[in-house]
Amino acid sequence: MMQVNEEYWRNYWEEKNIFKADEKGKKFYVLEMFPYPSGDLHVGHLRNYVIGDVYTRYYKMKGYSILHPMGWDAFGLPAENAAIQRKISPKEWTLENISVSKATFKKLGITYDWDREVTTCLPDYYKWTQWLFIQLYENGLAYRSNAPVNWCPSCMTVLANEQVESGECYRCGTEVTKKDLEQWYFGITKYADRLLEDLEDLPLWPEKVKLMQRNWIGRSYGVTVNFPLKSGNGEIKVYTTRPDTLYGVTFMAVAPENPLLNSLDITPEKRQELDAYIDQARKKSEVERTGTKTEKDGVFTGVYAINPLTGEDVEIFVADYVLATYGTGSVMGVPAHDERDFSFSKKYSIPIKVVINPEDEQLDISSMTNAYIEPGIMTDSGEFTGMISSDAIEKIIEHLEAADKGKRTVNYRLRDWLISRQRYWGAPIPMIHCPDCGMVPEKVENLPILLPDSRKVDYVPKGTSPLGSVDDFVNTKCPKCGKDAKRDTDTMDTFVDSSWYFLRYTDALNSDSIFSKQKADYWLPVDLYIGGVEHAILHLMFSRFITKFLHDIKMISHQEPFKQLFTQGMVMNRINGDLEVMSKSKGNAVPVGPFVEKEGVDVARGTILFIAPPEADLEWKESSVDSIKRFISRIQTVLDAEEGNNDDKEIRYQTHLLVKKVNSDIERFKLNTAIAAMMEYVNFIHKKMESADFSLSKDTKAMFIKVMAPFFPYLAEEYNKLIFGGGSIFEKQWPVHDETALMTDQIEIPVQIKGKLRAVITVGRSATKEEILKLAYSNPNIKKHLQGMTIRKEIYVPGKMVNIII
RNA sequence: GCCGGAGUGGCGGAAUUGGCAGACGCGCUGGAUUCAAAAUCCAGUGUCCUUUGGGAUGUGUGGGUUCAAGUCCCACCUCCGGCACCA
């Protein structure tokens, strides 16, 4: 029986540079999302990387120049937390984890080009993260702003909107609070339209992910309407997508944070009441304020605005369900035609005015229990009365613009990306605060701004940036005027690091530039990007944004980084009876190292690929290896037999069918059925060997070995060496099936009576309809069922089936 | 609440264009081999009926289109995921 020497092949691939990108001819860039280095890789990681490895080996055999790199998303909180607990430096801890993970990758023999390894926490990488920041700053896309931000009291840092899930921190699940802080933002909203529209250019992305991004960007079209104040000469602007309901506006609500409240002419008594409400609102969490379950409340300001279309008075409320950060921070209230406004008006006895009726009904305020939010016929709406409301929308916008009472507006749910973090283990923001010059970017030649040695830093989180405690870091000279100045002490969100790493791989060792345009243009876009769907918004949107920005500053030609996205399913494991995603932090991780040591890499690969289709979640069971172990040993039985020379038509048929099937299964990401097809094939040969003096010819063995190579690379190499004398199987050409081999002389035709299968007949390939029907009618079971029946119709689908209707 | 996706044997899952449902595998049952066991090999395995030829039934539920539906249409149920007052 064949002995597999994994180490030999691992070294062979590496020493002979089999999978080193040679940058010649047609290219294929395979990428798996790089991991956070948490130490031991587990079976969940294995799945992700093995899928990528299959494609790398497959495209290599198809003659492409391959780029398949690996690196480390190495900044971030776990390193700091671990360091605080164990009193070792985040850097040491991280680098140690990387070396453990890397050793496991090497043991697996995944086809990475390690010369291109990137580690985001090392200065040769974050130098360019800082460079990128400066480019964004100089193009007006990085700015500081003082605003209420999401604050995680447990992580002691701010979070981006994208990192808050139902009011909780995406990392630790702690309820997020609001804090007013001056923070750094990236102007991703300037790219909102392009990020939305260019999704059309990504046909090979899952619809689900594109939909999630569309929803997240949340583009809406409407109008900003000016409501003059009743007293004084100010005005309040509101944004609405339903100008057709403007005649029904009876109140308006302003966010507690909206600064225009200060300019309203409010009586001192009212002012006191309002301040109490505002104070209370600010203490509430986002979920308490805007969650669907809580009842909306507010306080009347005592001040009125004027409906610009009707001239009627409109009560102005302060209400904490109004978001200060969306639209104008104020909304108009139309009780009759908005569910939320309806219940608010009931609560505060605000008048209700119907301005849209259903086509066949007149709404009656006294009997209404719900708002009518559908389109309908305009009523009580001045010159627009009688129009279909959906048509009136555009007419009213035109009217408002003509009268200078409003302006057509597009709004987005997407917010600018808050990227500063009050933590130590991240890339320092390369900006300097100068008392004279203000904000000044560090000179590019001074990059990287090194993180100070952790021994000098008090990086235990206190809610302020740990770097602020290091005097020789903070104190510097202004790059512009040379006077004493202070460095910015925040570090960047780790999603900044990972939003451009796929570009660095194309030119990882470049010390003069972030990458060369020529290399990036050759390799981009990533042809196949494999990772979890949990990054559908965060990482994938930020990467698209940065790619577009780099395109705009002429660093790259492409506008989209990832041509095809494949989101693989999660690996689940039972813990105390509950099925949970496998992860180190949950304590249910099955480490890869001991597993492959025991079973071998090929068995580990085959198992994880066979038990479920790559996109489906799967439950990990140790016992799943049994079927693949049996299969591999059966492959050996078949291949170990002496070469025969008695391949017949049937063998040729089966072999070419296998090649065709595996090829198409790989192309459509059905790696589980590709393995099933190989099993069928091997079972077929095995049976044939038992019943006759038969063994495969050398040529047929070659076809099979090539087809299995992307899945079981070690075994394939051993047989390639044994039977064909060496070299790497991956330098050989992927087989092409011969369509003529699939043309059998005989075909089987199922015969149905009234849609029920009654017989299967075997006929010659070229049999005519008449011949087939004749044969069908002579079949005993068909005869039996047709006894005494009248045939009403015969349906014959050429080469497929016969259906007799009685 | 809104928007997606999915429901197929005891289990994981096949069925690529409306054309033989359950490929492949796990498990289970019986047999061969063995002193015995493991491993391996062979046969069977949706459910029910059966004279062993077959027959009935069957892809979440109920309807529909069609010669023919797991696949298409309508309504509903359940589960999973995303968003959750975005005005």
Bond into A308 cis (ω within 30) = no
Residue with tokens 């494999």: A530
Strand partners, A308: none
| Tally of domains within chain A | 4
Residue nearest to nucleotide B83 (CA to C1'): A215
Q: Which nucleotide is nearest to A320 (CA to C1')?
A: B85
Q: Which nucleotide is nearest to A222 (CA to C1')?
A: B87
For residue A104 the two structure tokens come to: 């496991």
Q: If DSSP states are collapsed to H, E and C, what string results for A145-209?
A: EEEEEEEECCCCEEECHHHEECCEECCCCCECEEEEEEEEEECHHHHHHHHHHHHHHCCECCHHH
In-domain check, residue A115: no
Beta strand A251-254 with A330-333: parallel, antiparallel or unpaired? antiparallel
A630 and A760 in a single domain? The answer is: no
Rounded, the Å distance between the CA of A673 and C1' of B22 is 15
Residue with tokens 């691992």: A10
What CATH number does residue A287 fall under? 3.90.740.10
Q: How far apart are CA A639 and CA A546, in angstroms?
A: 51
Rounded, the Å distance between the CA of A675 and C1' of B8 is 21
Asked which of A177-186, A517-526, A528-537 is least confident by mean pLDDT, the reply is A177-186
Rounded, the Å distance between the CA of A536 and C1' of B5 is 15
Domain boundary (A388, A411, A434) is at A411
Return the number of other C-beta atoms located less than 10 Å from residue A620's C-beta. 22
Q: How far apart are CA A82 and CA A70, in angstroms?
A: 24
Task: Confirm if A432 and A485 have CB atoms less than 8 A apart.
Answer: yes
A732 and A773 in a single domain? The answer is: no
Backbone φ and ψ for A199, nearest 5 degrees, come out as -60, -25
What CATH number does residue A185 fall under? 3.40.50.620
Task: List pLDDT tens digits, range A265-283.
Answer: 889 999 999 999 998 888 7
In-domain check, residue A252: yes
Q: Which nucleotide is nearest to A212 (CA to C1')?
A: B82
Q: Which nucleotide is nearest to A338 (CA to C1')?
A: B87
Q: Which nucleotide is nearest to A680 (CA to C1')?
A: B24
Mean pLDDT, rounded, for A221-232: 92
Rounded, the Å distance between the CA of A721 and C1' of B79 is 50
Rounded, the Å distance between the CA of A248 and C1' of B82 is 34
Q: Which nucleotide is nearest to A170 (CA to C1')?
A: B82
Mean pLDDT, rounded, for A464-485: 93
In-domain check, residue A678: yes
In-domain check, residue A390: yes
Return the number of other C-beta atoms located less than 10 Å from residue A765's C-beta. 10
Helix count and strand count (H, E) for chain A: 25, 34
In-domain check, residue A34: no
What's the pLDDT score for residue A393? Answer: 94
Rounded, the Å distance between the CA of A795 and C1' of B19 is 11
In-domain check, residue A369: yes
A174 and A313 in a single domain? The answer is: no
In-domain check, residue A356: yes
Q: What angle do CA A225, A230, A231 make, to 5 degrees?
A: 130
Task: List pLDDT tens digits, range A539-590.
Answer: 999 999 999 999 999 999 999 999 999 999 999 988 877 788 888 878 889 9
Task: List pLDDT tens digits, range A626-635.
Answer: 999 999 999 9
A407 and A428 in a single domain? The answer is: no
Beta strand A168-169 with A330-333: parallel, antiparallel or unpaired? unpaired
Rounded, the Å distance between the CA of A717 and C1' of B36 is 39
Rounded, the Å distance between the CA of A749 and C1' of B70 is 22
Backbone φ and ψ for A162, nearest 5 degrees, come out as -65, -15
Domain boundary (A477, A494, A511) is at A494
What's the pLDDT score for residue A380? Answer: 92
Q: Which nucleotide is nearest to A682 (CA to C1')?
A: B24
A395 and A428 in a single domain? The answer is: no
Q: Treating both helix axes as pointing N-terminal to C-terminal, what angle do A671-691 and A601-610 enclose, rounded to 10 degrees?
A: 110
Beta strand A168-169 with A164-165: parallel, antiparallel or unpaired? antiparallel
| Residue A697 belongs to domain spanning | 623-741
For residue A680 the two structure tokens come to: 């069928």
Higher pLDDT, A396 or A464: A396
Bond into A710 cis (ω within 30) = no
Over 70: is that where the pLDDT of A58 sits?
yes
Residues A87, A91, A97, A99: is their CA dihedral positive or negative?
A: negative
A277 and A243 in a single domain? The answer is: yes
What CATH number does residue A774 fall under? 3.10.20.590
Strand B nucleotides, any atom under 7 Å to a protein CB: 1, 3-5, 12-16, 19-21, 23-27, 39-43, 53-56, 67-69, 81-87
A444 and A346 in a single domain? The answer is: no
A168 and A283 in a single domain? The answer is: no
Residue nearest to nucleotide B56 (CA to C1'): A756
Q: Where are the alpha helices (DSSP H) in A419-557?
A: 471-474, 494-497, 501-504, 517-523, 538-552
Strand (E) positions, A489-647? 491-492, 528-531, 565-567, 571-575, 578-581, 618-619
Please compute, for residue A46, the number of CA atoms within 13 A of its CA located in the half-sphere on the CB side.
Answer: 29
In-domain check, residue A273: yes
Residues A334, A336, A340, A344: is their CA dihedral positive or negative?
A: positive
Rounded, the Å distance between the CA of A561 and C1' of B72 is 37
Mean pLDDT, rounded, for A32-38: 93
A285 and A318 in a single domain? The answer is: yes
Q: Treating both helix axes as pointing N-terminal to C-terminal, what angle do A601-610 and A592-599 enclose, rounded to 10 degrees?
A: 110
What CATH number does residue A678 fall under? 1.10.730.10
Q: How far apart are CA A694 and CA A644, in angstroms?
A: 7
What's the pLDDT score for residue A800? Answer: 87
Over 70: is that where the pLDDT of A76 sits?
yes
A391 and A276 in a single domain? The answer is: yes
Domain boundary (A465, A494, A523) is at A494
A314 and A376 in a single domain? The answer is: yes
A226 and A352 in a single domain? The answer is: yes
Please compute, for residue A229, the number of CA atoms within 13 A of its CA located in the half-sphere on the CB side.
Answer: 16
